[in-house]
Amino acid sequence: MDHRDRPEGLAHCVLCDRPQRTEFPDYCAGCGGPVVLPPAPVALPATTESTGAWRYAGRLPISQETAWLSMGEGQTPLVSATSTRAWCATERLRYKLDHLNPSGSFKDRATAVGIAQAITQGAPAVVCASSGNAAGSTAAYAARAGLPSVVLVPEAVPPGKAAVAQAHGATVLRVRGDYSNSFQVARELAARLGWLNLTTTFVNPVAVSGLRSAGYELAEQLSEVPDWIVVPIGSGPLVHGIVTAYQELRAAGMHTELPRILGVQAHGCAPIVDAFDRDVERVTPWPTVSTRISAISDPLRGYPSDGTYTLRLVRETRGAMVAVRDAEAEEAAEALARDEGLLIESGAAANLAAVRTARDRGWIHQDELVVCMLTGHGIKTLAAAGRQEAPLVANTDDVIGQLPAHTTKAPEDLNDRVKR
């Protein structure tokens, strides 16, 4: 059966397998578990001429009638690491530049599909709870679709992230408390007003299915299955997307292995790492969020089964979980900006710190192929980085006075120093 014709009812709960409807997405009515769409049954290649998510319209629950919504989400470059390979102590390191998505984060992969769902169903408006990036993503795609949007963010949201959503005309409201409070209000608002909920936990299986595109792309960009894919995790939809894509490809006979997932959380909010370390099946909510790494600070209060499902997936890949301290993630972000030219927010740069830890622990070997998902752009949080104001100069002599000595030698000498 063609995936596009699949009846809505075939979504299912990952914990109790109960079939679920997807028009008013919510958690499983039976057990509260996360609901997902089953893997797409069609064999590769299932790409179309369209751009962005619609390139995979054969495998995702979208039709060409909504292709006008695309802003070129996905199709992000995969590049080799240069200087930061040494920082991570690994030789074969690749970066998937998902911060180059239209609104600056991988969330656009899900939002594009979610907004298409809103248009197709005739939803009056969309709502989402967000630690910051889903806010900008939802606001941008809602603007393009001509739909009103409300985004609910935690009170400690980075101001630059709220500003992006405001620029796109969303109603942006800070909800007292941490992310889980925003999450609960978004869920209630969607139910009360009949709006579509685009929150990127596992609450909307249609939107979440859009994250499979990241896995499809990696499979096209690499001639082998990577040994590890490193993913920052709030509740884990991106892990689900990547693993589901590779499972589909395996079912289609493309390869036999799954990439191992290295899941990354912030030390001050690490409910899934905690369950991994204690070797238990069930994830429990994190009591008090204490981290500056906002993008992955999800305590899972009210929906811990998201974490339980994500941990199950990580284990199915023979993967692992690592917690990263704020200072390590910030140091990694600095290294990426200074040594690689990549401006990445700490929540995504945390991946590099996790690779270093996993190398230390002997989990990742030096010659293994490692892909880090650089999920979010650093520009939205740059102002908060506490940088000094740029020195003010009036003329060329002032400028020369400000420069490091080795850069002001004669041009011949300088030419010798230019990296080739």
Residues that bind Zn ion (CB under 5 A): 13, 15-16, 18, 28, 30-31, 33
- Of residues 67 and 320, the one with the C-beta less far from ligand PLP: 320
Q: Which does 31 bind (CB under 5 to 8 A by kind): ligand PLP, Zn ion, none?
A: Zn ion
Residue 234 touching ligand PLP (CB under 6 A): yes
The whole-angstrom separation of Cα 121 and Cα 139 is 18
Of 237, 259, 304, 319, the one binding ligand PLP (CB under 6 A) is: 237
Rounded Cα–Cα distance for residues 370 and 226 (Å): 6
Interaction pattern, residues 54-93, with ligand PLP; x per rule: CB under 6 A: ----------------------------------------
d(CA 14, CA 39): 12
Closest distance between ligand PLP and the C-beta of residue 254, in Å?
24
293-332 residues near ligand PLP, rule: CB under 6 A: 295-296
We find the least distance from the C-beta atom of residue 20 to ligand PLP, in angstroms, to be 20
**CB of residue 389 to ligand PLP, shortest distance in Å:** 27
Q: Which of 357, 283, 298, 300 is nearest to 323 (CA)?
A: 357
Rounded least distance, CB 75 to ligand PLP, Å: 18
User: Of all residues in this chain, which one has the CB nearest to ligand PLP in the complex?
Assistant: 376
CB atoms within 10 A of CB 349: 32
**Subset of residues 195 to 214 that bind ligand PLP, contact rule: CB under 6 A:** 200
Quick one: tokens of 91?
Answer: 């030789």
The Cα-based distances of 93 to 106, 128, 326, 368 in angstroms read 20, 34, 22, 8
Instruction: Give the closest residue to 72 by CA, choosing from 166, 141, 161.
Output: 141
Residue 154 within binding range of ligand PLP, rule CB under 6 A: no
| Cβ atoms of residues 60 and 53 within 8 Å | yes
Tell me if 190 contacts ligand PLP by CB under 6 A: no
Site for ligand PLP in 340-399 (CB under 6 A): 345, 347-348, 375-376
Question: CB under 5 to 8 A by kind: which of ligand PLP, Zn ion, none does 235 bind?
Answer: ligand PLP
- Residue given tokens 């520009």 in the structure block: 379
Binding test (CB under 6 A) with ligand PLP, winner from 133, 244, 291, 351 = 133
Q: Which is nearer to Zn ion, 35 or 112 (CB)?
A: 35
Nearest to 283 by CA among 260, 302, 259, 256: 302
Q: What is the largest CA-CA distance in the chain?
A: 75
Phi, psi torsion values for 271, nearest 5 degrees: -65, -35
Select the span of 84-92, 141-149, 228-236, 352-360 touching ligand PLP (CB under 6 A): 228-236
> Is the separation of the CB atoms in 71 and 88 below 8 Å?
no
Question: Residue 345 binds what, of ligand PLP, Zn ion, none (CB under 5 to 8 Å, by partner type)?
Answer: ligand PLP
Q: Is 102 in the site for ligand PLP (CB under 6 A)?
A: no
Angle at which helices 212-221 and 237-251 cross, to 10°: 50
To ligand PLP, the closest distance from the beta carbon of 136 in angstroms equals 9
> Which residues have a Cβ under 8 Å from the Cβ of 95 and sit 6 or more positions away?
78, 79, 80, 81, 340, 342, 371, 372, 374
User: How many CA atoms lie less than 13 Å away from 337 in the CB half-sphere?
Assistant: 17
* Count of residues near ligand PLP by CB under 6 A: 18
Quick check: 22 and 32 in contact, CB under 8 A? no
Position of tokens 């060409």? 64
Q: From the list ligand PLP, Zn ion, none, which binds 381 (C-beta under 5 to 8 Å, kind-based)?
A: none
Give 38's DSSP letter.
P
- Least CB distance to ligand PLP at residue 349 (A): 9
Q: Which residue number, 66 or 310, has a Cβ lying nearer to Zn ion?
A: 310
Quick one: tokens of 392?
Answer: 């003010």
Interacting partner of 58 out of Zn ion, ligand PLP, none (Cβ under 5 to 8 A depending on kind): none
Angle subtended by helix axes 237-251 and 107-121, to nearest 10: 90
Among 76, 149, 235, 317, binds ligand PLP (CB under 6 A): 235
Name the binder of 399 from Zn ion, ligand PLP, none, CB < 5-8 A by kind.
none
Exposure string (b/e) for 181-211, b if CB count within 10 Å is 16 or more?
bbbbbbbebbeeeebbbbbbbbbbbbbbbbb
Q: Which spans of this chain sit near ligand PLP (rule: CB under 6 A)?
A: 105, 107, 133, 200, 232-238, 295-296, 345, 347-348, 375-376
